[in-house]
Chains A and B, each alone.
Chain A
């Protein structure tokens, strides 16, 4: 039970922590909080003891299913879904391009909808299903959109590609791939600086025209 929370912790800090949040609540009842004299509290704050205390109890348990695998992680509320994927779970297929929701490189599916994972806090996806680029193929069998991107050369450097593909799949599923113009409109949240746009649009048109299940 305890080990499952270790995944998201740097330095293996979770080894003996159990559920620190619950422990903290157990140990620091309202009474003991009141018993702290203001002087002590101020001194603690000055020495940044408060931050060290906060560091322990401010992590929240989050249950996420990512690409069909259940993860129980402890994360600080300020951790984005993107950084959880890349820095803690080593799922680096999802890319950081701006961290402000302006480029789309971090696009993933949450319960089937495309979202910018850099604008999504990890705690917001508690209990939800996340699909990243790593979860799109069925084993060695690529998703039709992945095949189409290769065929139409829908990329150069490949950095925006996972976001483009996740967005493209959602674009078709949403019913927003009815024409070239519509695709261009609904894919405009995904920037490609190498300029693979026409090839990406062609790939999406082919998948849409092929009528495969996406």
Chain B
């Protein structure tokens, strides 16, 4: 014990341990690629070596003759999938264009576009045979550098993306103090530790089971059913564990459909695991985005006008959009606000939402600009934010369901020791390092969708809850168990939560910080309904907390169950609901080498009642670390002469490692918001990252007096 005190182990938060913890620490948790089926074959993709053009010849003879090869699939021999002819593809994003489809024609749309799939009886044989596929191409000129075609950016279709105006946004120009600056983030790649993978198994001519890495078993079920024109019930998607995703498994990508097709062609189960390199061009990324903030304030720090403009990359064949500029509309009280959002096509694969998504990109610009304005005004950045605090939603005039942002500022400032922050940058040193403090805030919508949960009291007294949600690692099963324990009034050890199977009652895709609210709400409602059913069974005068197993036995029942579909109340429409985060960072910067070290981090979440403290804390810590990566190291670099990534692996694409990360304080305001759901809980997956990169950049400015408006802030930039 004494030794522990010496090692200064911080107390961990309360709350139950992760319900699937034992499976994860013993290696028993099974991820998509780990369902090894009898007679299974292995598939390997052959990527294009050019960036844009058409395949003129493709020679598969050598590959076909290689030992163990069962099939080589190209556009020349791939069957036409019935669902590709017509119909809406549920996997495609809400705006224009169409999703990529593999092996339908000879076009190459980006570097690494798969041109063939080799299926063999072992992984090594498939890999070797894939190297034997040779293609010649008609090359076309291409552009992969979005920064060169920003002037070609266009407003996406749909009212959500139209230019927004409140009052006269140009008012910023007449202010006595103003900031007009540009901010850039590079391409960032999710790079979860688990590689995208799928095992497809046709169990009958018209029935297929897939073990897939997806954030939504129902959406993948629909996408595959659509492509193969099958009734959805004939497609079963199983995703028991997801090894992180951060958005890259929100869609059903073409390699998944192609593997299902391969399994159909060879009449054997087929496994495909993408390589790490393919994670960069096959499953989305955070797009390169240029932003400009124009903001003006009165001498006492009242915002008079704000314009947030963004131009981001999309692919040549599909529009990808996200909420990059949304925060500017409602985060601060400002009478004159404008937002402009445009996308520009380049010859890469389509980007997709990456944790925090567009809001994280937008918050880097907005929260950096506000920091710049604070220095110009000679005001504390927190004080400037408080002077522009929005008491009601300035975008729609609605009251907030709850908002404890000011409390969050205070909690974080106290914890990090904000009072020690030098008001003049570059003035605090320690052992030859420059010390600086910075903060940034984040916000994300807190909603509740529709989910269906089946609650069953079994004869052994275990409450079984079932729904087709996935857990990408955030601890959904743990949070749901906690919610059920509270709602049903039994210990969490008596609850089993089953997820990750499309044949279970429907749940939405895990993303957008919605699951605790949506599925948790349905779990809560199902528990209450089952409790009610028991009360009716027992009759008046029965115990409020009966021995459920005994009741079932006495009544001669095997089990008692309810299936409940629930969603948010109509009352929600009268309010604006958001989760907020405030991140505080203390950095040290070495003036000669330009190295930045993160000394201290305090992240505060105002995300309603915290239902599962232990996993919630981990989620906030993890988001902060993701934000540190975004700020200091993450950048996928394309050599635009060839259109190819030059750092498509984890040695070249830097993410934070143990040595980069100190102890991190995660604090919670922990005040419930019962308007959103009966638990009073709001999402926190996105806010954990949103605003963090600005906090780091602002801290580096405080330490050095140098302002960095382009991420990542690597030592080479700092030392110059």
Task: Using known A-B contacts A55-B68, A98-B650, determine if residue A156 contacts B618 with beta carbons closer than 8 Å.
Answer: yes
Segment among B284-292, B426-434, B660-668 that sits at the interface with chain A: B660-668
Interface residues on B, range: 35 or more
Task: Using known A-B contacts A102-B650, A157-B194, A183-B658, determine if residue A146 contacts B25 with beta carbons closer than 8 Å.
Answer: yes
The 8 Å CB contact of B623, one of A146, A152, A189, A195, is A195
- The 5 A-B residue pairs whose C-beta atoms are closest, nearest first, are A93-B27, A157-B473, A159-B243, A195-B625, A158-B24
Minimum C-beta distance from B181 to chain A (A): 29
Considering only CB atoms, which chain B residue lies closest to A187 in the complex?
A: B658
Cβ–Cβ contact A100 & B651, under 8 A:
yes
Q: List 14 A-B contacts (CB under 8 A).
A: A48-B65, A92-B31, A92-B36, A93-B27, A95-B194, A136-B26, A156-B474, A158-B241, A159-B244, A160-B193, A193-B655, A196-B618, A205-B7, A209-B7
A105 at the interface (CB under 8 A from B): yes
Task: Using known A-B contacts A83-B124, A159-B192, determine if residue A92 contacts B34 with beta carbons closer than 8 Å.
Answer: yes
A19 at the interface (CB under 8 A from B): no
Contacting residues of chain B (635-654) with chain A, CB-CB under 8 angstroms = 649-651
Residues of B within 8 A of A47 (CB): 65
Cβ–Cβ contact A206 & B4, under 8 A:
yes
Task: Using known A-B contacts A191-B650, A193-B655, determine if residue A92 contacts B27 with beta carbons closer than 8 Å.
Answer: yes
Complex Cα distance A53/B123, Å?
19
Cβ–Cβ contact B193 & A97, under 8 A:
yes
Residues of B within 8 A of A206 (CB): 4, 9
Complex Cα distance A54/B42, Å?
20
Contacting residues of chain B (465-492) with chain A, CB-CB under 8 angstroms = 472-475
Cβ–Cβ contact B26 & A52, under 8 A:
no
Main secondary structure of the interface of B (DSSP, over half): loop
Main secondary structure of the interface of A (DSSP, over half): loop
Complex Cα distance A193/B465, Å?
29
The 8 Å CB contact of B622, one of A100, A151, A191, A196, is A196
Residues of B within 8 A of A116 (CB): none
Cβ–Cβ contact B193 & A191, under 8 A:
yes
Considering only CB atoms, which chain A residue lies closest to B36 in the complex?
A: A90
Cβ–Cβ contact A86 & B124, under 8 A:
no
A6 at the interface (CB under 8 A from B): no
Segment among B12-20, B71-79, B142-150, B535-543 that sits at the interface with chain A: B12-20
Minimum C-beta distance from A95 to chain B (A): 7
Task: Using known A-B contacts A92-B27, A153-B614, determine if residue A195 contacts B475 with beta carbons closer than 8 Å.
Answer: no
Cβ–Cβ contact B193 & A192, under 8 A:
yes
Complex Cα distance A160/B243, Å?
8
A5 at the interface (CB under 8 A from B): no
B10 at the interface (CB under 8 A from A): yes
Residues of A within 8 A of B66 (CB): 48, 51
B204 at the interface (CB under 8 A from A): no
Minimum C-beta distance from B213 to chain A (A): 10
Task: Using known A-B contacts A132-B27, A150-B25, A197-B625, determine if residue A157 contacts B657 with beta carbons closer than 8 Å.
Answer: no
Minimum C-beta distance from B16 to chain A (A): 10
